[in-house]
Every structure is written in C-alpha cells, then in structure tokens.
Chain A
Amino acid sequence: MASRRDDDKGSRRQGLIAGESTNWAGLSDSRWAPPDGRRLLQLALATIWLLDGVLQLQPFMFTPGAHGFSGMLAGTATGNPRFIAHTITWNASVVQHHAVAADAAFALIQFLIGLGIAWRPSVRPALALSIVWSLSVWWFGEGLGGLLHGAGTPVGGGPGAVLFYALLAVLLWPSDRIRTARPFVAAWTVGTQSAKVIWVVIWLALAVLTLLGSGRSPDGLRNLIVHYDGEPGWMADVDRHAASLLAGHGLAVATGLAAICVVVAVGVFLPVVVARATIILALMVAIVIWVVGENFGTVLAGGATDPNSGPLLVLLALAYWPKRIVAADGMTTAAASPYLVEAV
C-alpha cells in the first residue's frame, strides 16, 4: 500500500517535472477543458442574460409611471383574460410603488443568472434560476406573450422571448450522459428523440402562431413594424422599406413564413446535409425576424429590457446543428441518418 502511494507520488512528481499538468507559470489546471459546443452555447446564453441585466439599468427603468418600467409591465395586461390581467396589473403596481428597489432587484437577478452560467461551478443553479425567472417574466412581464389575445406572432417576438431562455436552459443543462450517437448539442441532455420532438413542437407552434390573430391580417405585419418609434435613421429606413413591401400582403407573407417553419420543423428528421440546410434556413428566419420584425428588440431605441427572441432562436438553431460525422474507424463519413453518428 505504501509502495503504491510512493509510486503515485513519483509519477505525479514526474508529471509535474515534465510539465504535463502545468504550464511555465505553474498554474494552468490540467482538469480544465476548453469549452465544447454546449459550453459555447451556454456562454452565449450567459452573455444575453448579462446584456439583459445591463439593459435593466437604463434610467427610465427606475422611473415610476406610465413611461417607466411599471408602465411597460402594465401594458402587457391589455387583452388578456381578467384573472391574468389582474395578476399583471398587481405586479405592475408593486413595481410602481417600489420602482428603484424592484428594478435593481430585477437587474441583480439577471446579473446573477448571467454570471452564474458563465462561472462553471454555478452553472446548474444559475440555469435552474433562469427557468423559474423566465416563466415568471413570461407571465408578469410579457403577458403570456400575447398568446391569449392573438398577438403572439413570431415576427413580433411571440410566443415570448423568455420562453426560449427557459427552453435553452433545459436543452443546455449540463449532464454526464454519454454523448455517443447524439447528433447535436440539444440532444446531449434530453436525448435525441426528445430533442427532435421539442424542435418539431417549437417550429410547428411558430407556424401556427404566424397564422393566428393579427399577424395574418392584410396590414398586420406592416402595422407591427411602423409602430416602432425612436429607432436610428438606418433602422427607420429598413422599417420604411419593409412596411411598404408588407402593406396589404400580410396574409401571403404569414402563409409563406408558416410554410418555412414547417419545413424547418421536419428538417431535423432528414439526412444530415438536408438537415443542415434547414438549420441554415432557421437561422435566416431568426435573423430576419430579429432585424425587421423586432428591430433588435427595440434596444437601439433605448426602450427595451432584452433583445427579444431573435438571438435566442439563433442559439436554439445552433444547438441543433448536426455535428461532423465520425465512423468507428475514425474516418469522416456522410451518414444517411443523424441517428447513427457520433458527435465530435
């Protein structure tokens, strides 16, 4: 036993001398692994959370009244059923009476989530907190994303950007499950089948929401865009052109977007090459929605608490990007089905 300990000590010393576990500065930890695909997406999510926290510190957020944060919250009650509207206005009134404390607390929570995800030892608690916080904000801060009164078109951020925060927290949850035969990052934790079902449900829901309510009316999308105010000149130009293109064509555009969403939804079941094409399509849809439909979440106009759903949809799509395929013999192959591949 003592001999084995001596051997261990000797090999550790040799490793230390040979520099196996240390760099020249003697500090780098050999157990530290560079970020993999999931970790990179976690860091991107942390960046968005931290950005949200900083945006929460804008001066108008600390201001009570209709033009402050409480007014913004109260506005989401409009159109919702009485019970839900009541809970939202109650929350808004609490914020109204404690504007500074409430806004500071909201910012602090978002800072904690962002920094918590970024710091490896606290990833799990931070992601758990982000799920709880997201669902609370979806109810009290986004009025359930306008789902219950036909204003949940994905072009405007429906069904609520914070739902995607929660969903990403689940998909990017750290787990020690074996990653073999998991074709994309989103499958690492929940499994391939579950991840695919989630993807299909999301994109089919987006397709349905595109065709519901105000989004399909002839001027619905145009009205959504022209109401943006205070944007910088170049963004206002984009809005003007988009509004003129969309005028009177709301139903046709909504139908086309719904069809694209359906194609993206089924793409995850297709061979890798086609699946990648549909993921690229999803990325393009997310970017167009973010720029044209959401105006970067109106962050540039100085009146937003988050960049809206566009960046989250991008992260979601990247989490489903099929990895390079490696066969058992180490050769790169083009597998016919993502079921049979191993992520690298």
Chain B
Amino acid sequence: MAHPTWLAYGFAAAMVVVSVYCIGRLVFASRFHRIIHRDVNIAHVLMGVAMTGMLVPRWSFGSPLLWELVFGVLAVWFLGSSIRFVHRHGLKGADQDHVHHLSHRLIHMVMSCAMLYMYWLGAPMSGPLPAMSMGSASGSAGDPGLTLLLMAVLIGSAVWQLDAITRFPAPGPVLAGVTALSDGASTEANAVAERVQDEAAQRLLAPRLEIGCHIVVCVATAYMLVLML
C-alpha cells in the first residue's frame, strides 16, 4: 500500500511544534507566574514526543515499555484527577476558572489510554510507516470497534474544544479596556481597575493556543488510530 511519506512527516512536524510550544508554556508560566494546566501541558508534550517517534522512526527515542509506563501513569493521574474533581465540584461542577469541567480531565485520560493502546499493539516498535501498511495489508490491529470508538471520542473532543475557543476573546482588548476605564476616573476606581488589571495579568496563559494544541494532538492521534483499521 502506498502512503505518502510527507503526510507522516507533516504530522510529525506538527507534533514537534506542539511539544516545543508546550514546553515553552511550562517554562514561561513558571517564570512569570502565569496560570496553566500543568498536567495537561505535560501530557501534550509527552504525546507529541511519542507520536513524533511513531510517525518518523528516526526521530523516536525510549523503549516502548518506557512509553507504556509513562502513559499508564498519565492515565492513572487523570483518572485520579477526575475523581478528585468530582469529589470537590460534583459531576456538573466547573473548575475555579469557570471554564473547565470533568470532561477536561476525562478526555486526557482517554488520550493517554489511546496512546497506551497504540503501544500495546506494537505499532511503534515496527515504526510508523511499516505499521501503516500493516494496518491495511494484513488486517486491522487491535479491535476495530474500540479503535473507531477512540477515534470518534478524540475527534468529538477536538470539535467541542474548537467550538469553545471563541469564548476566549483576544487578550489585548481586555487589558486595553481596563486601562481605558481607569483613564480620568476617581482614585478609588483607579485602584480597583489596577487590581482588575493585575488579576487579568494573572489569567490563563494563552488558552486559545492551549486549545489549539489539544485539537492538533486529538487529530494526530485519530490519524494514528485510523492507520490501524
């Protein structure tokens, strides 16, 4: 079966960009005390690195056993995080940022399980391109029903997140608006406006780009899964 190499390299490049960017987010947030979901960003980094190795064998490192361990730990972490969240906020509750719900944690658990599933089936050990041809030439790997279900969940998550991305306006107008409000106002109002501005500066670090990373990782994982059908 012919399969364009550029497609694998394209997805691998996207994964590299996501990984590097998420590492940058972690460093930036730590350095400048900005708010991010550390576990989510770490998960994106690890998934990006692992899938890069799956897509382009020359760029892979670490044994499959190591990666299985990593994604097993991640899946357990997000499961525990989900349980803690339900205990604290209930099934329908929202995080303190009023934006993220239980599904935010569960979907990352599913993503970790999807990675674990791919490693269990041995695709990464034989490299991505052979694995791609294996998927079609010698029948599907794993259970196609489960593979399709994982694909549907990941793609659904990407779509859901893309819909929610518009809830975050560009950060510029928020600060500009606060600054404009403080112009010519009373001392007390100025103080409050400055406090709001300070709080705004503590906001989530580039939430739209974090969502963008999530969407790219979801689509790339779905692509890896479709090769197993």
Residues of A within 8 A of B (CB): 9-10, 12-13, 16-17, 22-29, 32, 35, 39, 43, 46-47, 50-51, 54-55, 57-60, 62-64, 99-100, 104, 114-115, 117-121, 230, 232, 234-235, 296, 299-302
Q: How far is B208's CA from A119's CA once the two chains are assembled, in angstroms?
A: 12
- In the bound complex, do residue A24 and residue B199 qualify as a contact, i.e. CB atoms below 8 Å apart? yes
Q: How far is B223's CA from A104's CA once the two chains are assembled, in angstroms?
A: 13
Kindly list chain A residues whose C-beta atoms are within 8 Å of the C-beta of B24: none
Q: How far is B4's CA from A319's CA once the two chains are assembled, in angstroms?
A: 39
CB within 8 Å of A: which of B1-35?
1-4, 7, 35
CB within 8 Å of A: which of B165-179?
165-169, 171, 174, 177-178
- In the bound complex, do residue A104 and residue B4 qualify as a contact, i.e. CB atoms below 8 Å apart? yes
- In the bound complex, do residue B171 and residue A120 qualify as a contact, i.e. CB atoms below 8 Å apart? no
Chain A to chain B: the 7 pairs with minimum beta-carbon distance, closest first = A26-B200, A32-B167, A300-B144, A118-B162, A302-B229, A59-B1, A25-B203
- In the bound complex, do residue A39 and residue B144 qualify as a contact, i.e. CB atoms below 8 Å apart? no
- In the bound complex, do residue A60 and residue B1 qualify as a contact, i.e. CB atoms below 8 Å apart? yes
Does any Cβ of A come within 8 Å of B76's Cβ? no
Which of B178, B202, B226, B227 sits near A16, CB closer than 8 Å? B178
Taking A28-B168, A54-B223, A104-B7 as given, write out 8 further A-B residue pairs in contact, using a Cβ cutoff of 8 Å, ordered by the A residue number: A12-B181, A23-B99, A26-B174, A26-B203, A54-B222, A59-B135, A114-B159, A115-B162
Does any Cβ of A come within 8 Å of B213's Cβ? no
Which of A13, A39, A99, A118 sits near B185, CB closer than 8 Å? A13
Does any Cβ of A come within 8 Å of B148's Cβ? yes
- The segment from B47-55, B56-64, B111-119, B150-158 that touches chain A is B150-158
Residues of B within 8 A of A (CB): 1-4, 7, 35, 96-99, 132-133, 135-136, 139-140, 143-145, 148, 151-152, 155-156, 158-160, 162-163, 165-169, 171, 174, 177-178, 180-181, 185, 189, 192-193, 196, 199-200, 202-204, 207, 219, 222-223, 226-227, 229
Which chain B residue lies CB-closest to A230? Answer: B139
- In the bound complex, do residue A39 and residue B163 qualify as a contact, i.e. CB atoms below 8 Å apart? yes
- In the bound complex, do residue B7 and residue A24 qualify as a contact, i.e. CB atoms below 8 Å apart? no
Which of B133, B189, B227 sits near A13, CB closer than 8 Å? B189
Q: How far is B165's CA from A163's CA once the two chains are assembled, in angstroms?
A: 30
Chain A to chain B contacts (Cβ below 8 Å), 24 pairs: A12-B177, A13-B181, A13-B189, A13-B193, A24-B97, A26-B196, A26-B202, A27-B168, A27-B174, A27-B200, A28-B167, A32-B166, A35-B163, A46-B159, A54-B219, A59-B3, A63-B2, A118-B159, A299-B148, A299-B229, A300-B229, A301-B140, A302-B135, A302-B136
Kindly list chain A residues whose C-beta atoms are within 8 Å of the C-beta of B99: 23, 25, 28
- In the bound complex, do residue A50 and residue B181 qualify as a contact, i.e. CB atoms below 8 Å apart? no
Q: How far is B144's CA from A54's CA once the two chains are assembled, in angstroms?
A: 15
Given contacts A47-B152, A47-B159, A302-B135, contact A58 B226 (CB under 8 A): yes
Which chain A residue lies CB-closest to B228? Answer: A302
Q: How far is B165's CA from A23's CA once the two chains are assembled, in angstroms?
A: 15
Q: How far is B130's CA from A74's CA once the two chains are assembled, in angstroms?
A: 28
Q: How far is B207's CA from A161's CA once the two chains are assembled, in angstroms?
A: 37
Kindly list chain B residues whose C-beta atoms are within 8 Å of the C-beta of A25: 35, 97, 99, 202-204, 207
- In the bound complex, do residue A119 and residue B163 qualify as a contact, i.e. CB atoms below 8 Å apart? yes
Q: How far is B4's CA from A99's CA once the two chains are assembled, in angstroms?
A: 10
